[in-house]
Amino acid sequence: MIDPTAMTAAEINRGVETGEYDPVEIVDAYLDRITAVDPSLESFVIVTADEARAEAVVHREAVRSGVPGGPLRGVPFAIKDLYDAAGHPTRSGSLASSEVPATEDAPTVSALRDAGAILIGKTTTHEYAYGVTTPPTKNPWQLDRVPGGSSGGSGAAVAARLAPIAMGTDTGGSIRIPAALCGVTGIKATYGRVSKRGVTVLSWTLDHAGPLTTTVADAARTLGVLAGHDSSDPYSAAVAVPDFGAMLDRGVDGLRLGISDTYFCDRLEPGVAAAFENAVRELERAGAIIVPVAFTGVELCPDIVDVVASVEAASFHRSRATERPDLFGPDVVDALRAGNLHSGVAYVDAQRARSVVTAGMNAMFGTVDVLLSPTIAGTAPLLDSTRTVLGDNEIGVLNSLNALTVPANVTGMPALTVPAGFDDAGLPVGLQIMTPPFQEALAFAVGQAFQSRTDFATAVPDTAYTLTGELL
């Protein structure tokens, strides 16, 4: 059997369904790799080895008995430690969290299990998802760099091939930022497309749940399992779920791909600018029509997210932050204090400004099918960075890394990031693909067209094999 950790989720599933691969051997290969690699990355907070092996045995017997399986049967997956998993505490990266085990899975975790996927552990998160560096996790491309966040453990784990699928959350970019900085694929679907029940809140009106994977095809397959209306989640959208993979081979011929130089492309590091230009030209050669566009109101997004996220987070954490502020990290304490200082008028104004940005989005998508941008204006900062450069300004690392991702949270539109190359230092660059709400299949079509013409998604960081002594 080919090394399972070098396979995509789709390849694992096909092999399991045909009986070529044994789910137990698949799980053991990933657990062995975690044991070898993760002490240096620190991407997992718990590895559920015994449970995973037991689940794998059940799936093996089901295959042998001819029991039909789901689209992810035999595929290991990890979850950010904001998701409830029965029998395990949800620590959310914080000492302020309860150690009482969850009594049931989050619906997303249940959906993955029902599709045949096998939980192998929980990954690190920046404390309560309020940050973009995710200590103590390292970026597998260079261990002195951050993996991004707040889903940094999931990004690092998928990049190092410790899991083919890992769940993240995204309030201002927290799926797409680690996906881009770690060189993997990540999808933030339309707001409400995926249930958030059983997932620790950062901001009720900005939070999204979704997967990080190695390929676009795996992201589409996984989102198909996760998407759907949850009547017990008040933010869940009662919208029909399409076949997200139906357009994967559509290509981009004739599609109008918008490029907004203002805001999205005017503050880029040289390596990011070069990789983005190459990506745009590649899609143009594939038949896309490149159209300059304006996105009215988009410059309001950083301030909107600053206000809305901090106020809603302060509300969610009111009692625990008041009773035991010493249990929070200093950056989260500062953010929650800022939220308490915003007035009700400021919060209402921020929510009203969202309608301006949404109107700008709708007008823009009246002229193009898709909006392209770099996912992040730079590449992964050094560990312990608190400030970094965006254009001509040195600003906080959070606002620097999420500058280009926050518009999709403010508007709720879907946004996919795919690996788009590397800068001169060998650090990954991401390509962000945004579409009108509930058109994720279109984003996947563009992402697949790009991945079919490049090999960035197959690249594996040196640390992922030098630490194990094996070359994938």
Domain count, the chain: 1
List of the chain residues with pLDDT < 50: 471-472
Residue 317 lies in a domain: no
Residue 446 lies in a domain: yes
Residue 325 lies in a domain: no
Q: Quote the CA–CA distance of 183 and 348 in Å, as a whole number.
A: 37
pLDDT digits (tens, 9 = 90+) for 166-224: 999 999 999 999 999 999 999 999 999 999 999 999 999 999 999 999 999 999 999 99
DSSP 376: S
pLDDT digits (tens, 9 = 90+) for 217-265: 999 999 999 999 999 999 999 999 999 999 999 999 999 999 999 999 9
Q: Quote the CA–CA distance of 423 and 270 in Å, as a whole number.
A: 8
Q: Quote the CA–CA distance of 447 and 440 in Å, as a whole number.
A: 10
Residue 127 lies in a domain: yes
Residue 327 lies in a domain: no
Residue 312 lies in a domain: no
Q: Quote the CA–CA distance of 294 and 107 in Å, as a whole number.
A: 38
Let me know: does 168 contact 211? Beta carbons within 8 Å: yes
**The predicted structure's pLDDT at residue 472:** 38
**The predicted structure's pLDDT at residue 467:** 58
Q: For position 89, which CATH number holds?
A: 3.90.1300.10
Residue 440 lies in a domain: yes
Element (H, E) at 312: helix 301-316
Q: What is the pTM of this model?
A: 0.97
* Structural domain of 232: 4-303+332-466
List residues with catalytic annotation: 80, 150, 174
Residue that has been written with the tokens 């809603």 in this structure: 312
Q: Which residues pair with 77 in a beta bridge?
A: 119, 165
Q: 3-state DSSP call for residue 111? A: helix
Which of 317-326's residues contact partners 24+ apart within 8 Å by CB, and which partners?
Answer: 317/96, 317/128, 320/96, 321/96, 324/96
Residue 318 lies in a domain: no
Burial class (CB within 10 angstroms; exposed 0-12, middle 13-18, buried 19+) of 80: buried
**The predicted structure's pLDDT at residue 457:** 97
Q: Quote the CA–CA distance of 295 and 406 in Å, as a whole number.
A: 13
